[in-house]
Structure 1
Amino acid sequence: MSDERPVFGCHRVPTASGSFRPDEPIMWLSCEAGAGVTRIAVAGEVDLSNAHLLTELVETAVAASAPLVVIDLSEVGFFGAYGTNALVLAQRMLARQGRRLILHRPSPVVRRVLDVTGTLTAFEVVDRPALPAVDDRWARPVVPTRSGS
């Protein structure tokens, strides 16, 4: 992803000193819809305040006809339980239509949360830099590894 992030609103929030600072977005989403693959990229923090946006974007992707939806999670720095819920909902929406969801390069934080919640093995995970074509079947469920806390 590029370093330039779109600014959706310029809010000012108070600081401890009483001055105001610009409120920076904590999550960025992008979507590229093609005939065979819809790619969604997520960066920043996925938490209670914004996980619904990821769900809504996946719902929009489901409305497109691409048989494969890839969610790139490589730039996620925080991933809460609501993020897990958003991915499980996405998986269910796509599975009902006989379509595939691939989690592309989940960051260590995302991988850890999915592992701890027991949901990692429910997803196809691709850690390779290149994404598969629609008909490629080399994506597979990942068996979690036990690494220290």
Structure 2
Amino acid sequence: MSENLPGFGRHHVPTASGSLRPDEPIMWLSCEARGHVTQVSVVGEVDLSNAHLLAELLENVAARTPMVAVDLSEVTFFGANGTDALVRAHQVLTGQGGRLTLCRPSSVVRRVLEITGTLGVFEVVDRPHARVTGNAPARPVVPARAGS
């Protein structure tokens, strides 16, 4: 086997100079079931190229659990497709009598949700590793003023 072949899941992309560099993932997803609540953690960039993966994960989780908490504290880029993934998951869960809660959305995520007018749709919890339990609503979000 040639040593020039990339490993499974690893590809090489050209740079401006014409050399090749390893193509690293830009988003990581993890999922942990905690009783009747499933926590989904998102790290990195959510954009057109990968938002469908977040949407698929959230839709699959929503079909199996009544409550989903999405930790967005380590998201560094958040495009409109990420917003769409969250809105669709929210619709699926609430349609089944469940809940979707956003945990510690990064300033990038919060800004996109504010601009798109969707921040108010979601329950947002700003505490680290918040456990979403029962039917009590999460703490309401008050949009921060610029520069504060």
User: Which amino acid in 2 is paired with 1:34?
Assistant: R
User: Which amino acid in 2 is paired with 1:62?
Assistant: A
Q: Could you tell me how far apart the structure 2 residues matched to 1:123 and 1:140 are? A: 11
| 1:70-92 C-alpha deviation (Å, 9 max, x unpaired) | 00000000001111111111100
1:26 maps to 26
- Within the alignment, does 1:124 sit opposite 2:123 as a pair? yes
- In structure 2, the CA distance between the partners of 1:17 and 1:51, relative to structure 1 (3 Å rule), is same
Report the alpha carbon displacement of residue 12 of structure 1 after superposing the two structures with TM.
Answer: 0.5
- In structure 2, the CA distance between the partners of 1:21 and 1:37, relative to structure 1 (3 Å rule), is same
- In structure 2, the CA distance between the partners of 1:122 and 1:141, relative to structure 1 (3 Å rule), is farther
Q: Could you tell me how far apart the structure 2 residues matched to 1:84 and 1:12 are? A: 30
Q: What SS does structure 1 have at the residue aligned with 2:21?
A: strand
Superposed, 1:58-73 pairs within 5 Å as 58-64=58-64, 66-73=65-72
| 1:94-128 C-alpha deviation (Å, 9 max, x unpaired) | 01100000000000000011011111111000001
Q: Which segments of 5 or more consecutive residues in structure 2 lack a partner in the other structure?
A: 1-6
2:108 maps to 109
Task: Say if 2:101 and 2:122, in contact at 8 Å, map to a contact too.
Answer: yes
Q: What SS does structure 2 have at the residue aligned with 1:140?
A: coil
User: Which amino acid in 2 is paired with 1:49?
Assistant: S
1:147 maps to 146
Q: Could you tell me how far apart the structure 1 residues matched to 2:116 and 2:142 are? A: 13
Q: Which segments of 5 or more consecutive residues in structure 1 lack a partner in the other structure?
A: 1-6
Q: Could you tell me how far apart the structure 2 residues matched to 1:30 and 1:96 are? A: 24
Task: Say if 1:27 and 1:45, in contact at 8 Å, map to a contact too.
Answer: yes
**Same amino acid, percent of matched pairs:** 65
- In structure 2, the CA distance between the partners of 1:133 and 1:84, relative to structure 1 (3 Å rule), is closer
Pairwise CA RMSD of aligned residues?
1.7
Task: Say if 2:123 and 2:137, in contact at 8 Å, map to a contact too.
Answer: no
Tell me the number of residue pairs that the alignment of Structure 1 and Structure 2 aligns. 141
Q: Could you tell me how far apart the structure 2 residues matched to 1:135 and 1:24 are? A: 39
Bigger radius of gyration: 2
Report the alpha carbon displacement of residue 135 of structure 1 after superposing the two structures with TM.
Answer: 1.3
Q: Could you tell me how far apart the structure 1 residues matched to 2:115 and 2:76 are? A: 17
Q: Could you tell me how far apart the structure 2 residues matched to 1:142 and 1:75 are? A: 19
